[in-house]
Structure 1
Amino acid sequence: MSANDGATMASSRQFVLEKESELRVEVGPEATLRLRLTAGAAEVFGAELPPEKWITVPAFQNIAIFTWKGATIELDGISEVEYVADETPMVSYVNVHAILDGRRTRARTGNSQGPRTIVVGPTDSGKSSLCRMLLNWACKRSWKPTLVDLDIGQGSISMPGCIAASSVEMPMDAFWEIPTEMPVVYFYGHTSASANVELYKVLMKELAQTLEKRFSCISEYEVAGMVINTMGWTDGLGYELLLQAINIFNADVVLVLGQEKLFSMLKDVLKSKPHVDIVKLHKSEGVVLRNQKVRQMSRSYRIREYFYGLNNDLSPYSLSMNFGDISVFRIGGPQAPRSALPIGAEPLSDPTRAVIVNINYDLVHAILAISYAKESDQILSSNIAGFLYVAEIDFESKRITFLAPCPAELPSKLLVMGTLKWSEN
Structure 2
Amino acid sequence: MASSLSTVTRHKLQKESELRVEVGWESSIRLQVIDGTAEIFGTELPPQFKLTFTAGLKFAIFTWDGATVEIEGSAEAYVADETPMVSYVNVHAILEQRRVRARDAAASTTTTLPSTMNADAALQPQGPRVIVVGPSDSGKSSLTRMLLGWAARQDWKPTFVDLDIGQGSVTIPGTLAATPIEMPIDPVEGIPLEVPLVYFYGHVNPSANTDSYRALVKELARMLEIQFAANAEARAAGMVINTMGWVEGVGFELLLHGIESFNADVILVLGQEKLYSMLRDKFKTKPGVDIVKLHKSGGVVARSSKFRQRMRNVKTREYFYGLSNDLSPHAASVNFTDVQVFRIGGGPQAPRSALPIGAEPTADPTRVVPVTISHDLLHSVLAVSYAAEPDQLLTSNVAGFIYVTEIDIARKRLSYVAPCPGPLPNNLLLAGSLLWVE
TM-score range, shorter chain: over 0.9
Query: Alpha-carbon deviation of 1:351?
Result: 0.7
| Structure 1: distance between partners of 2:363 and 2:289 | 37
**Among residues 79, 84, 106, which one is paired with 2:101 in the alignment?**
106
1:166 equivalent in structure 2: 179
Residue 175 of structure 1 and its aligned partner are, at CA, apart by: 3.3
In structure 1, the residue matched to 2:385 is 371
Residue 22 of structure 1 corresponds to 18
Partner of 2:73: 77
Root mean square deviation of aligned Cα: 1.6
* Structure 2 CA distance for partners of 1:278 and 1:339, relative to 1, 3 Å: closer
* In structure 2, distance between residues paired with 1:418 and 1:22: 40
Q: How many residues align?
A: 419
Report % sequence identity: 59
Q: Secondary structure at the match of 1:392?
A: strand
CA contact (8 A) 1:132 1:176 kept: no
Aligned to 2:266: 253
Tell me what 2:55 maps to: 59
Separation in 2, partners of 1:27, 1:170: 26
* Equivalent in 74, 81, 85 of residue 90 of structure 1: 85
Q: Which amino acid aligns with 1:264?
A: S
Cα deviation code 1:228-273 (max 9, x no counterpart) = 0000001100011111111110000000001111111111111011
Structure 1 segments of 4+ aligned residues over 6 angstroms from their partners: 336-345
Choose the corresponding residue for 1:311, options 324, 332, 336: 324
- Give the corresponding residue for 1:422: 436
Partners of 1:270 and 1:276 within 8 A in 2: yes
Counterpart amino acid of residue 406 in structure 1: C
Separation in 2, partners of 1:94, 1:409: 47
* Match status 1:264 vs 2:277: yes
Shift of 1:408: 2.2
The answer as to whether partners of 2:51 and 2:188 remain within 8 angstroms in 1 is: no
Alpha-carbon separation, structure 1, partners of 2:168 and 2:248? 21
Taking the aligned partners of 2:189 and 2:222, their CA distance within structure 1 comes to 26
Residue 334 of structure 2 aligns with which residue? 321
| Structure 2 residues not aligned, in runs of 5+ | 107-124
Partner residue in 1 for 2:257: 244
Cα 1:341/1:140, change in 2 over 3 Å: same
Q: Distance between the aligned counterparts of 1:219 and 1:236, measured in 2?
A: 37
Q: Distance in 1 between matches of 2:85 and 2:128?
A: 20
Gap change, CA 1:336 and 1:68, over 3 Å in 2: closer
For 1:147 and 1:59, locate their aligned partners in 2 and report how far apart those are by CA, in whole Å: 25
Match for 1:61: what amino acid? L
| Letter paired with 1:353 | R
1:51, CA displacement in angstroms?
Answer: 1.1
Q: Judging changes above 3 Å, is the alpha-carbon distance between structure 1 residues 344 and 277 closer, same or farther for their aligned structure 2 residues?
A: closer
Distance 1:398 1:109 in 2: 61
Q: Deviations over 1:340-371 (max 9, x none)?
A: 88999854311111110001111011100000
Letter in 2 for 1:201: R
Residue in 1 that maps onto 2:2: 3
Provide TM-score, normalisation by structure 1. 0.96
Q: Which amino acid aligns with 1:141?
A: Q
Matched residue SS, 2:152: helix
Give the whole-Å Cα distance in 2 for the aligned partners of 1:300 and 1:324.
30
Moved more, 177-186 or 127-136: 177-186
Checking the alignment, whether the CA contact within 8 Å between 2:340 and 2:428 is kept in structure 1 is yes
Shift of 1:315: 1.5
Checking the alignment, whether the CA contact within 8 Å between 1:119 and 1:229 is kept in structure 2 is yes
Q: 2:408 aligns with which of 363, 381, 394?
A: 394
- Residue 361 of structure 1 corresponds to 375
Counterpart of 1:393 in 2: which secondary structure? strand
- Name the SS for the 2:211 alignment partner: helix
Shift of 1:301: 0.6
Query: Match for 1:230 among 243, 254, 266?
Result: 243
d(CA) in 1 for partners of 2:298, 2:352: 59
1:186 aligned to 2:186?
no
SS at 2:314's partner residue? helix
> Partners in 2 of 1:311 and 1:17 — Cα distance?
30
User: Which has the larger displacement, 414-423 or 166-175?
Assistant: 166-175
For the 8 Å contact 1:146–1:167, the answer to whether it is kept is: yes
- Distance between the aligned counterparts of 2:349 and 2:36, measured in 1? 66
Distance in 2, Cα, partners of 1:267 & 1:341: 43
Contact kept in structure 2, 1:167 and 1:180, CA below 8 Å: no
SS in 2 for 1:421: coil
Residues 128-207 of structure 1 aligned to structure 2 (within 5 Å): 128-175=141-188, 177-207=190-220
Choose which of 35, 42, 49 in structure 2 pairs with 1:46: 42
> Alpha-carbon deviation of 1:171?
1.1
Q: Deviations over 1:58-109 (max 9, x none)?
A: 2221110000001111101111x20000101000000000000000000111
Taking structure 2 as the reference length, the TM-score comes to: 0.93
**Deviations for 1:158-197, whole angstroms, at most 9, x for unmatched residues?**
1100011111111111135223422111100000110000
Unaligned runs of at least 5 residues, structure 1: none
Q: Which amino acid letter does the alignment assign opposite residue 11 of structure 2? A: F
In the alignment, the residues of structure 2 paired with residue 177 and residue 310 of structure 1 have an alpha-carbon distance, to the nearest angstrom, of 10
Tell me which moved more, 169-178 or 339-348. Answer: 339-348
Q: 2 CA distance for matches of 1:119 and 1:394? A: 46
